[in-house]
Structure 1
Amino acid sequence: MAGQPPLEASIEIAVPPAGVWAVLSDLRSMSRRSPELVGTWMFGAPRVGRWALHLNRRRAVVWPTLSRLTRWKDPAHDGGRGALAFYVWPTDVEWSYELEPSGTGTLVTERRTALPRPSLLIRVVAKYAMGGADSHDVELLDGMHRTLAALAADTQR
């Protein structure tokens, strides 16, 4: 099984980048927006290099992942451009959110890098417990759109 291609979704939010960052950077609240994330436990305050434990769920399958923050950029320090990203083990992918000022507020882009050739364990779990990697990627992309829509709604509160 070869790897999986990268995934990407974007949304325009009619809120300045600082307002979007205030909601997005609260990592514990991400589980309310992400369909697959059950919870996140950060080991200390968020900053580059910090580790977190995540609990994920897809249908009846529940699994943990570890991540390390690879980018943590408050848009207040870069002309409204912000970013947060984390490398996830055991899948060896990076998930990221990038904020860009736009004419109407903020363009937010969520990305997952290409999934390299997964380990035997990941391949077996993907095939038998999750219906296959392609099927899971379809759900992940849908989940990205749902997460961004929920982020937009949370910034309006």
Structure 2
Amino acid sequence: MTSPARFAPPRHAGSKAAARPATLAGAAGLLALVAAGCGDSRSVAPVSGVVTLDGAPLAGARVNTQPISPTDAPDAGVGSFAVTDDTGHYELELVSPPRPGAVVGTHVVRIKKLNDRYVAGREDAPLRGPSQLPAEAFDGSLRLTVPAEGTDQADFALESGRRP
């Protein structure tokens, strides 16, 4: 009885072995594009300002911004956040990747006091009693336009309505 002959087909342009270098070259090219930052070309600019409540600095407030797409595209960009210091001053930082600034364009702004609690998934509904902040601070009606050169005057003067 003879053993079966081993058959090796000839390599040609359509074979898997010939395609492997092309696949590796394509993957390396894609990796180079991603590493170069082609994944997100939105401009980011520095943004800072002061938040006041009834004319006094609002310390310990969380400022969150989310870009609004001018074309109703589903992804307008990464949001930014900050916490105000004792003078009410804040400097925005991108959520991801973490770096100073905000995406250039118009944003929805929500401001919350760190000691206020909210219903999970309902950032517009304080959990206990009335918030010391007016509804406009957290209902999504505040807007911020981030210019290409950035701004250090993104101020929010909130009024509680509790003034005598």
TM-score norm. by structure 2 comes to: 0.25
Larger gyration radius, structure 1 or structure 2:
2
Higher relative contact order (CA 8 A, sep 6+): 1
TM-score norm. by structure 1 comes to: 0.26
Larger % of strand: which? 1
